Structure 1
């Protein structure tokens, strides 16, 4: 487990940080999370996307693939820099009203979920903004 990151590491403007399943960056380091532009939470058995994701204020690419997420909740809309979101290989079955929750996402990866229908309001609202839906 990582207990802290050395101060100089964030002085160098870390924009990409990958931690293994058992290595968690303490919440006390939250001010440094704001620098991250690319975050990979894949393969961590995450059940939900909670309010802590708001700490990633500068994140552009977010990988939450291969977890146990069933819905996205309402916190991703606060990530105004987020343009690429990978939610593949989770337990997602519905994308109803996601058009209001995705903010500026242009690339959305939803493959290997239990989604049956992505038509209607979801696609109509995102049309022109979403450039890649997988």
Structure 2
């Protein structure tokens, strides 16, 4: 019996009775209970919309990217190299040759236009105005 009484006493001391807990809660009701501060990142509307979009894509099975970004870049480079090798095996068609020639001519023409515009900027203003006046007079005569 003596052990039984000790256990009950020990139990009484470790766990406070219900009345004591309720009285402590009533005393604490006057105090302001602390709350966690909201995380500004999680509370932002951009984060919420992004999260909703990711959940939507996950449900439909359209995940944005699988694997790290570096791996994706390396895979893209490998694909491009493979395409270049395939194109190098076959001779270019007549259309491709003509398009390249035309592109080269256009680049040369653009470079000449740049040089002309730069040279006109270096010329004094009165010479530029005189040249335009001569052009205008010759058109009317």
**TM-score where L is the length of structure 1:** 0.21
Higher strand residue share: 1
**TM-score where L is the length of structure 2:** 0.20
Larger radius of gyration: 2
**Structure with greater contact order relative to length (CA < 8 Å, sep ≥ 6):** 1
